[in-house]
């Protein structure tokens, strides 16, 4: 291991054998954290060639269980978001795609820090089971077209250890390490087609479209070289996506969109992602896919599919039909605008942390979350507001948190005299 660290520190390319030695040894606790951290830092500073990144990704993907979706052939399709604030796209996109014949066998994560997680959102629906045996998982995908469960303990265990190590050693933001982390889990999860939603902006890992494009190109090329059909959309995360941040609130917004009650930024990103997934698994053009996706929404097919899916996983459908029954906070507090002007900028990361303060998120992995807590935005970037207008409502069951949450929320906004230039929701697509 000492020689491998020194080689990477000197900027040399590691062989397949050396990378396999590291991944196997670290996964099986035969290499200490200190040496793994030193190698991560050397990779951070000196990068990896695409050959090294492919090997690292494959070795990590093979470090534990792999899901076999081969019985679905071309139809299995997955999506992955690099993480944002108010990102409930999986809850919307999966039913659209499944209503068009796609097979979505998805493993999702929980929220940590300022970003939310699909599994926490689903757990706000009483009865919903986020853990299924492999046989039940596959059988549900076959019958309904969707199953979304928490990541099983032994999927890419090398990533589990490395991700935790990177988090505390300032080695998280390295393109080859992010690529191998995300793609190892996606490859092990087995889908034939994978669409990545690479978030860009104040609420994302990647702050500029240029940085995001480099990461997207790296992940798409690794996926293709491992035989998968790949695409990545670079999407805007300068403001929270949609109008809600928080678990039950986001379920409600997702259901409303599927009932055709909402358009806007969230709708636009979901239609783009669902179209890209449909293009890949049906082998049709972008225009053809978009027509199908819009029809799935307008005809109610996608809404019927979310009901079928939630019921199949044990969720009580009365909460989907009447989302007002979902957990509600005891305190709903309006935040008022301190001045007249345009909302020029919103710091999405800071707004994500406000939702955490209110109880919607975790600071540490073991923290319990309050499914009812969160934020409902009344105004977003580009809106003109008068002093005293409601900017958002804070939802919480802990009123002692309101003062800090209100202050942080207002600190996250920049007001201006002029209207800010509009930014696209989808910057570009990497195929």
Residues marked active site are found at 80, 159, 166, 181, 185
Under DSSP, is residue 18 helix (H, G, I), strand (E, B) or coil? helix
Rounded alpha-carbon distances, angstroms, from residue 297 to 95, 118, 143, 235:
10, 21, 21, 21
Q: Is the CB of 177 or the CB of 239 nearer to ligand URA?
A: 177
153: DSSP letter? T
CA pair distance 337, 415, nearest whole angstrom: 10
Q: Which stretch binds ligand URA (CB under 6 A): 176-184, 260-268, 272-280, 297-305?
A: 176-184
Q: Which stretch binds ligand URA (CB under 6 A): 120-128, 175-183, 292-300, 345-353?
A: 175-183
Q: Is the CB of 57 or the CB of 313 nearer to ligand URA?
A: 57
Site map (CB under 6 A) of ligand URA, residues 142-171, x = contact: ---------------------x--------
Q: Is 215 in the site for ligand URA (CB under 6 A)?
A: no
Nearest in space to 150 (alpha carbons), one of 108, 87, 91: 108
φ/ψ of 125, rounded to 5, equals: -90, 115
CA pair distance 62, 86, nearest whole angstrom: 32
CA pair distance 162, 37, nearest whole angstrom: 9
Q: Is 48 in the site for ligand URA (CB under 6 A)?
A: no
Q: What angle do CA 240, 268, 358 make, to 5 degrees?
A: 20
Q: Is 119 in the site for ligand URA (CB under 6 A)?
A: no
Q: Is 82 in the site for ligand URA (CB under 6 A)?
A: yes
Q: Is the CB of 114 or the CB of 409 nearer to ligand URA?
A: 114
Q: Is the CB of 86 or the CB of 315 nearer to ligand URA?
A: 86
Q: Is 115 in the site for ligand URA (CB under 6 A)?
A: no
φ/ψ of 165, rounded to 5, equals: -70, -45
CA pair distance 266, 110, nearest whole angstrom: 20
Q: Is the CB of 167 or the CB of 283 nearer to ligand URA?
A: 167
Please write down the long-range contacts of 283-286, taking CB distance under 8 Å and 24 or more positions apart: 283/74
Positions of E strands within 29-157: 77-81, 104-108, 146-150
Q: Is the CB of 182 or the CB of 329 nearer to ligand URA?
A: 182
With CB under 6 A as the contact rule, the residue among 14, 36, 104, 182 that binds ligand URA is 182
**What is the rounded radius of gyration, in angstroms, for the C-alpha atoms of the chain?**
22
Q: Which stretch binds ligand URA (CB under 6 A): 44-52, 177-185, 247-255, 392-400?
A: 177-185
Count of residues of this chain found to bind ligand URA when the rule CB under 6 A is applied: 6
Under DSSP, is residue 355 helix (H, G, I), strand (E, B) or coil? helix
153: CB partners within 8 A, 6+ apart? none
State in angstroms the smallest separation of the CB of 181 from ligand URA: 3
User: Looking up tokens 């040894």, which residue turns up?
Assistant: 25
Q: Is 85 in the site for ligand URA (CB under 6 A)?
A: no
With CB under 6 A as the contact rule, the residue among 91, 92, 94, 178 that binds ligand URA is 178
Q: Is 216 in the site for ligand URA (CB under 6 A)?
A: no
Which residue number places its CB atom closest to ligand URA? 181
Q: Is the CB of 60 or the CB of 320 nearer to ligand URA?
A: 60
List, as one string, the DSSP characters of 310-341. HHHTT--THHHH-GGGS---SEEEEEEPSSSE
Q: Is 89 in the site for ligand URA (CB under 6 A)?
A: no
Q: Is 57 in the site for ligand URA (CB under 6 A)?
A: no
Q: Is 175 in the site for ligand URA (CB under 6 A)?
A: no
Which residues would be at the binding site for ligand URA (CB under 6 A)?
82-83, 163, 178, 181-182
């Amino acid at each position: 291991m000492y020689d491998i660290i020194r080689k990477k520190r000197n900027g040399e390319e590691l062989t397949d054998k050396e990378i396999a030695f590291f991944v196997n040894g670290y996964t099986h606790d035969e290499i200490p954290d200190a040496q793994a951290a030193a190698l991560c830092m050397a990779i951070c500073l000196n990068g990896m060639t695409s050959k090294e990144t492919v090997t690292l990704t494959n070795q990590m993907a093979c470090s534990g269980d792999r899901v076999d979706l081969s019985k679905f052939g071309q139809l299995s399709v997955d999506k992955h978001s690099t993480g944002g604030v108010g990102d409930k796209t999986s809850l919307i996109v999966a039913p659209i795609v499944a209503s068009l014949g796609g097979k979505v066998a998805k493993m999702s994560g929980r929220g940590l820090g300022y970003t939310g997680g699909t599994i926490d959102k689903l757990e706000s629906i009483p009865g919903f089971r986020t853990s299924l045996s492999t046989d039940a998982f596959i059988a549900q995908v076959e019958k309904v077209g969707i199953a979304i469960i928490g990541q099983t303990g032994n999927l890419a265990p090398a990533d589990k250890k490395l991700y935790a190590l990177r988090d505390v050693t300032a080695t998280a933001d390295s393109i080859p390490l992010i690529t191998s982390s995300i793609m190892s889990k996606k490859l092990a999860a087995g889908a034939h087609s994978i669409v990545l939603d690479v978030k860009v902006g104040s609420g994302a890992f990647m702050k500029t479209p240029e940085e995001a494009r480099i990461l997207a190109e790296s992940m798409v090329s690794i996926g293709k070289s491992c035989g998968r059909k790949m695409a990545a959309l670079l999407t805007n995360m300068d403001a929270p996506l949609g109008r809600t941040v928080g678990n039950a609130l986001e379920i409600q917004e997702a259901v409303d969109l599927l009932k055709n009650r909402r358009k806007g930024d969230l709708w636009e990103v979901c239609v783009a992602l669902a179209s890209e997934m449909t293009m890949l698994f049906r082998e049709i053009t972008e225009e053809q896919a978009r027509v199908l996706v819009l029809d799935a929404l307008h005809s109610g097919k996608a809404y019927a599919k979310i009901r079928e899916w939630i019921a199949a996983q044990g969720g009580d459908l009365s909460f989907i039909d009447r989302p007002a029954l979902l957990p509600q906070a005891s305190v709903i507090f309006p935040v008022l605008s301190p001045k007249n002007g345009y909302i020029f900028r919103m710091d999405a990361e800071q707004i994500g942390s406000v939702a955490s303060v209110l109880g919607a998120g975790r600071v540490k992995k073991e923290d319990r979350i309050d499914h009812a807590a969160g934020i409902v935005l009344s105004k977003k970037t580009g809106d003109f507001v008068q002093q005293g207008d409601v900017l958002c409502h804070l939802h919480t069951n802990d009123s002692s948190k309101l003062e800090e949450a209100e202050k942080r929320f207002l600190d996250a906004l920049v007001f201006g005299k002029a209207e800010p230039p509009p930014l696209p929701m989808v910057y570009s697509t990497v195929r």
